[in-house]
Every structure is written in structure tokens, then in C-alpha cells.
Amino acid sequence: MQSTALRVREHIIRLSAGGGCFIGASLSCVEIMVYLYTHVIRRNADEPNDPQRDYLFLSKGHDVPALYGTFVEMGWLEADRLSNHLSTQDSIYWHPNRHIAGVEFHSGSLGHLPAVAAGVALDCKLRGGQNRVVVITGDGELNEGSVWETLLVANAYGLDNLTLVVDRNQFQANIRTEELVPLEPLTDKFRAFGCEVRRIDGHDYGQLEEAFGEAMRPANGDGVIHGSGGKVKVIIADTVRGKGLPSIEARADRWFCAFSGDEVLQLLEELHGNKEAAIESETLVVR
């Protein structure tokens, strides 16, 4: 998994050339995504529409380079296609969409996919399925009221087959969450909304394994539901924005970045433990 994560980070760094990408928020959720696709999500690429499959939704959306990097490493997406980034001839742009096989739903507008995933989870329960439904949200995304609204409803319907993973990288766009709209104590907030909550180091596979092992206990395929007392699972994964690249880690101005080809080469060196990159490109701070 570690080498897979390293290669996913290489893909992300390469995608930050040219038109750029949301590099910081992509690097923070690499371990989460690699772990989920290699150990949690039961999905057969040859049967993409299998109704028994597990679902993974990316709600924050702008972390899509991590998703596509993982897809390449899983063998679901040809590596060549990443060079089509931002070409109108392909569908590899700044937010996920269903034109890319394996993407369950498009996102980009924050606070939508918890609700969409709740609908999917409800149907899985109605049909007595054992599907797991996982949604990755950002932490800044938790500003959106619709996330909390959906938690109320999902818990009312006992959707214990639904897991929300918060990529808690401490930043929203260009500012620290706690400096703008403070979220802490976050565990308490989710508990107060009726969820079963775990807080872990989102870069530590041991902790991911422990948390998901617990959260992914087989759901009751009992045809449901309302008032059943089943709880939505929340895993708050503490992460570092820009993880893997010391020169950009936890920096407010490294959210959306468009690097030169030379800088990308330097960042790849830095990723492999060599000299820190000297970045001269003006990063696009406000978007």
C-alpha cells in the first residue's frame, strides 16, 4: 500500500502541471483512498453496475487527482489518459464525473453527496443488500448545512450501512478551518447528531484498518429502517494538507497549484526524499 500511495502521489504531482489541480487536498486523502479501494470497497471493474457492489462517493470532489491516481494503480484507468487532463476531448477535469468508469457520481458543489449516498444506502437497505456506502467529505465542506441535515435524516432512517469519512486536513480553500468557521470539537458534534464516531490518523494504515474494520461490520440487511436505531458511522481522519511534500505541507497558499514542468520534476524528487523543490510559479490562491 505504501508504494501504491507513493505512485498515486506521483500522479497527483504530474496533474499539477499545465492547468494545475487542487494538489493539497488531493495529497491529504491518498492513504484513505488507497486503503478504501484496496481493502474496503468490494467492486468488480468488469461488472461496474453490479447492484451488490460497495459505493464510494467523493463529496469534496476537488480531490479527484487522488481518485484518478488510485484508479490508474488499480488498473481501472489507463495511465495515458491522465495526460488528457483538462482536454475537452476527455472528461478528466477538476471534479469527478461519471464519464470516467468507476466514478459513482459527479461532485464539485459541496454538501451534496452525503444526501445522494444516503439515498443509495436507503435503497440498499430496502433491498436487503449488504452493500457498504462510503462518502469522503472535506472538513471545510462541513460548513455546508446540508451535511448536517442529511446526518439527521440518515440517522432517523437507521442507515448504519453509510460511513462518512472526513478528510480533516485543517484547511478550507485558503484558510485554516479553525480561523474561519471553527469545527472543533468535531467528534462531539457528530456524536450529538447521533453518529458513531472514530478519530484516527488518516495517514496510518494500521489506524485506518482498525477504524474501518469496526465501521464495516456487516450491516443488517433487514429491509430496514425508520427508527431502527442504526447509526451512521463517521471516521474523522486527521491528515496533513499536501502530505508527502514538505515544501507545500500545511500551507494556506498551496490549495490550487499550477506548476511548471521543471517544478513538477523537483516536486517528484522531493517526494522521494531528495531536496525540497524551489517553487517560483505563482500559485493560484484564490479560486
Partner 1 sequence: MTYEELLTETALKDERIIVMTAENRALVRNIPTVLGARFVDTGITEQTMVGMAAGLALRGRIPIVHALAPFLTMRAFEFIRTDAGIAGLPVKLSGYIPGFLSDGNGPTHQAIEDVAIMRGIPGMEVYSPADEDDAVKMLPSIWAAPVPAYVRINHKKGTFVHAAYQPGKAEVVAEGKDLTLLVYGFLFDNARQAMALLEKEGLSVGLVNMRSLKPVDEEAIVRAAQGSGLLVTIEDHLQTGGLYSIVAEVLLRHRMGATEVLPLALNERWFRPGLLSQVLETEGFTPAAITSRIMRHLQFAGGVGEPSGARII
Is residue 251 helix, strand or coil? coil
**Integer Cα distance of 175 and 91 in angstroms:** 30
Q: Which is nearer to partner 1, 58 or 117 (CB)?
A: 117
What does the binding site for partner 1 look like in residue numbers (CB under 8 A)?
A: 51, 98, 104-106, 109, 112-124, 126, 146, 149-150, 152-153, 156-157, 223-226
Q: Hey, what's the cell of 44?
A: 468488480
Residues 6+ apart with CB under 8 A from 182: none
Q: Which is nearer to partner 1, 103 or 165 (CB)?
A: 103
Q: Which is nearer to partner 1, 64 or 279 (CB)?
A: 64
Q: Which is nearer to partner 1, 5 or 147 (CB)?
A: 147
Q: How far is the CB of 285 from partner 1 (least distance, A)?
A: 26
Q: How far is the CB of 153 from partner 1 (least distance, A)?
A: 5
Residues 6+ apart with CB under 8 A from 185: none
Q: How far is the CB of 166 from partner 1 (least distance, A)?
A: 18
Helices (H), the chain: 2-15, 23-27, 30-35, 64-74, 113-126, 145-156, 177-180, 186-192, 205-215, 261-271
Q: Which is nearer to partner 1, 22 or 157 (CB)?
A: 157
Residues 24/241, Cβ–Cβ less than 8 Å: yes
Distances (CA, A) of 273 to 44, 58, 70: 35, 29, 21
Q: Which is nearer to partner 1, 93 or 157 (CB)?
A: 157
**Integer Cα distance of 173 and 257 in angstroms:** 12
Q: Which is nearer to partner 1, 79 or 115 (CB)?
A: 115
Q: How far is the CB of 86 from partner 1 (least distance, A)?
A: 19
**Integer Cα distance of 250 and 241 in angstroms:** 5
Q: How far is the CB of 120 from partner 1 (least distance, A)?
A: 4
**Integer Cα distance of 266 and 246 in angstroms:** 12
Q: How far is the CB of 52 from partner 1 (least distance, A)?
A: 12
Residues 104/55, Cβ–Cβ less than 8 Å: yes
Q: How far is the CB of 53 from partner 1 (least distance, A)?
A: 11
